[in-house]
Structures are given as structure tokens and as C-alpha cells.
Structure 1
Amino acid sequence: MSMKSASTLASAALILVLLAGCGSAAKPGAIAIDGPEQAVALYKQSCIRCHGTDLKGRMGPETDLHDVGARLSEPEILRQIEQGGARMPAFGERLTAEEIAALSSWLSGLGKSE
């Protein structure tokens, strides 16, 4: 077997291995996030890109939402969603006041001890 053929075969095998793992990855539409239906739907539509399918965040530790309710009050979360800040864009013109309130209410409960 020539060196070029071996390299091509190894590349093909690597691609197959990588593709085999794709089927087990959660797809954005199929993620399981616990919360009110409207809030979770809004999260999937507007927040998942930066905050991830697991709420852990993709843009650094400040984007981890697991304990956001322990760090910020509901009015602070509402203001953050509405006005943005730091690296977060404002959603006040993209979402309705009702949608922002639904997200804020749900997120403010995350990370609070019961």
C-alpha cells in the first residue's frame, strides 16, 4: 500500500469515527431543559446560542445559568435580558415584555436553595 493510499484510508477512518459520534449528540430542538414550556421555548429560540444546550454557557463562566438565580435577582435578570450588558446583546426590541418576564421568572429560580 502506498503512503498516499494509507493516508487517505486513515483520513477516511477518522471521518467515520467523528461522524459516528454525531448521532448521539443532543440537537438544539431535542434538548431537555426543565422549566415552564414558554420560557424553555424562548430559551431555545433566543438564548441557546450563547448559553448552550446545557445552560453552562459558551462564552465564559459568566454565561453559566445554572446558578443565575443565586447571583442575580429577578429584576436584575429582567434588566440584563432587556438592556443587555457586557458581552450580552439587548433583547428588549427582540422579545416582548411578557416573554422577557417569563424568562426572568424562570431563570431567577435557578440555583436558589430550596
Structure 2
Amino acid sequence: MSPLRHGVLALLGGLALIGAGLAALPQVAAPEQRERGAAVYAQFCAGCHGTALEGRSGPPLGATGHAWQHADTALARRIARGGSGMPGFGTQLDAAEIAAVLAHVKAAWPAGLRAAQAALPTEESAALAALLRDPAAALPADCGPGG
């Protein structure tokens, strides 16, 4: 990773800390959930993403990667459905196991990255914001008055 990218990541993490305030930092999940996530991760994820989240044949998931730039819903969907060369695990893992894997991964992130990731808009609010930015966008007919 380039020094510039490290600097940008550090700046983003620092800005997130300032913006969120130390009291609002997302807490690391309970030890039991992280332990369950570590076991599931070791079985299903470490082969591609590395035992230390460093990435092998798959991208890194630790602080040097970009998983923290995606909301939990998007990360959970990627685990369940797959995509971009990653197989889906939705038939092998239930929602609690997927949440535990995310807890395990997120526990390895520095506090600033956890805060920045927690502040990301959900997919629904991001889609609405994109719609509102598009001057040519129109709401569906059944969305207006009387619809």
C-alpha cells in the first residue's frame, strides 16, 4: 500500500473520530460473537482472505483493505450471495453466523475505521440520495399524491 493511501486512510479515520466523537465510537462485538465469527471465518474465509485478514487469493479484509468502506448490509449480502469471483455462502451460513464473521473482521479494524464504516449510509439512504441528486430522476407514479 502506498504511503499516500496510508495517509488518506489515517486522515479519514481521524476525521471520523472527530466527527463521531469518542463517546459515539462503535463498540467491538461481545467476545462470544467474535469467537464464533473467528471459527466461521477460519472455516469458510481464511483460505482466500488470509488468517490475519491480509488477503491471499481474495482481497484483504483488515485495515489495509477496503471492506470498511461498505455498510454491513452490503458486506453481509456479499458473504451470502457472493460476487466478483467470490462464492456465496448463504446456503451454508445463517444470518447469525454471517453477523459473527463481520464482528470478527470489524474487531480487527482500528477504531477510526470502525467509526467511519458505522457512519456509512445504508443502501436505502444511499439510493435515495443518488435519486435526489439526479435532476432527471422522477418518482414512480404511485409515489406521489393520491398514489
- Range class of TM-score, shorter chain: 0.5 to 0.7
Alignment of 1:58 with 2:73, yes or no, is no
Q: Cα offset for 1:51?
A: 0.6
Larger RCO (alpha carbons 8 Å, 6+ apart): 2
Following the alignment from structure 1 to structure 2, what is the Cα–Cα distance between the partners of residues 75 and 69?
Answer: 12
What is the count of residue pairs matched by the alignment?
A: 78
Following the alignment from structure 2 to structure 1, what is the Cα–Cα distance between the partners of residues 75 and 110?
Answer: 13
Unaligned segments of structure 1, at least 5 residues: 1-34
Match of 1:38 in 2: 36
| Residue type of the alignment partner of 1:72 | H
Q: How does 1:6-85 map to 2 (within 5 A)?
A: 36-59=34-57, 63-67=59-63, 68-85=66-83
Q: Cα offset for 1:66?
A: 0.7
Write out the 4+ residue segments of structure 1 that deviate beyond 2 Å after TM superposition. 67-70, 104-112
Q: Structure 1 79/111 Cα, relative in aligned 2: closer, same or farther at 3 Å?
A: farther
Cα RMSD for the two superposed structures: 2.2
Following the alignment from structure 2 to structure 1, what is the Cα–Cα distance between the partners of residues 46 and 53?
Answer: 8
Alignment of 1:100 with 2:118, yes or no, is no
Q: Cα offset for 1:71?
A: 1.6
Match of 1:21 in 2: none
* TM-score, normalised relative to structure 2: 0.47
| Rg comparison, structure with higher value | 1
Match of 2:23 in 1: none
Following the alignment from structure 1 to structure 2, what is the Cα–Cα distance between the partners of residues 38 and 80?
Answer: 19
Q: Cα offset for 1:107?
A: 2.8
Match of 1:90 in 2: 88
Contact 1:50 1:59 in 2 (8 A): yes
